[in-house]
Amino acid sequence: MEFGFAPEDEAFRGEVRAWLDAHVGAGADRRGWERALGAAGWIGLGWAEGGYGNRTATLTQQVAWAEEYARSAAPPRSGHIGENLLAPTLLAHGSAEQKARFLPAVAAGEELWCQGYSEPGAGSDLAGVRTAAVREPDGYRVTGQKIWTSLAHEADWCFVLARTEPGSRRHHGLSFLLVPMDQPGRVEVRPIRQMTGTSDFNEVFFDGAHARAEHVVGGEGNGWRVAMSLLGFERGVSTLAQQIGFAEELGRVVRDAVATGAADDPLVRARLVRQWAELRVMRWNALRTLGGPAAEPGAPSVAKLLWAGWHQRLGELAVLVRGAGASVGPADWSAAAPYELDAAQHLFLFSRADTVYGGSDQVQRTIIAERVLGLPREPKGVES
């Protein structure tokens, strides 16, 4: 096996497959599905040693779970932000009280999270955030706007990077706050309709939203350190699962190329082979970094550059092999009703954003240049 699965890991994989076969397609809503996963012990694998998760699981078993989940065509996760971003951050920087309060609810699928980082004018340049959190006797009052907030319309909580030191600049004076979303009149969520016709992203407006004093992770003023630590958790076991999904998409593109005759074109065949080869390289790189030093400089940025460009090129190839048929939808398009897209069209349109969200390609190259290659730092304005 590529990842070196031992017999006990293969037994674990069989347990995963059996559970997914029995439960995928049961028709639960997204929140209900999270609760089903939590009740069966499939959220928070590997947290059990701290008493916060559901099961003990080795790293290889976590990979087995993530890959089988991706292969099973299980529903998209609503709880992945809480499980894969917030939880590792709390385990690394949270107080005992914060871990005890929030991790069990994530592991049970009971509380969903969103990420309050990007703002208008402070997206890729995250240190430019202007959302302010004013200290009060009972906590903080948060005022500002976040944008491109995934799943905010479903979330119960938001972890917010906010400026708690008036007059501070750049990465100074920031704090990492845990803010409840259910605050009518103080938290407003506005969905953003994308080219695909869906609204997974949102604008979030905070107008004096309350955050309790004990819900500051890492201490006041240490938000930048905590926020950067969280970004390092965005790639890991989930990267390998993502690549299983990429392989499924590539398979559909290959089948379309054969069906339309586009595969007879040697240039198209060469592009298909290149996509396959690059996907294998991404997998090997992910396995290498997964088993390597935990803080390997630049590894997350390299991974993001690899998969974002690859996925975008796959979207372009998906419509290329379809020819003129790629411009025709699966149903009549009209201004009176939301338009429908087939899988290839959705892949092409959604993947246009891959090189922008989660840190643009330019930002990832800057990180590699400064932190790995030791090149002069890019000017970012006057530091305070």
Active site residues: 234
The tokens describing 273, both together, are 């082979």
From the CA atom positions of the chain, what is the Rg in Å? 22
The tokens describing 184, both together, are 């009518």
CA distance 255 to 278: 19
Q: Write the DSSP assignment of 98-160 as a string of letters.
A: HHHHHHHHHHTT---EEEE--BTTBSSSGGG---EEEEETTEEEEEEEE-S-TTTTT-SEEEE
Extract long-range pairs of 276-282: CB within 8 Å, 24+ residues apart: 276/250, 278/306, 278/310, 279/243, 279/246, 279/247, 279/250, 279/310, 281/306, 282/243, 282/246, 282/306, 282/307, 282/310
The tokens describing 190, both together, are 């506005």
Q: Which amino acid is it at 209?
A: A
Paired strand residues for 191: 202
Closest CA to 384 of 91, 170, 200: 170
Helix, coil or strand: residue 351: helix
Q: What share of the chain is helix, strand, coil (3-state, %, to 5)?
A: 50, 15, 35
The tokens describing 254, both together, are 């290959």
Asked if residues 253 and 272 have their Cβ atoms less than 8 Å apart, the reply is yes
Helix-helix angle 59-71:7-23, to 10 degrees: 30
Q: What are phi and psi of 177, to 5 degrees?
A: -110, 145
Paired strand residues for 144: 206
CA distance 173 to 227: 13
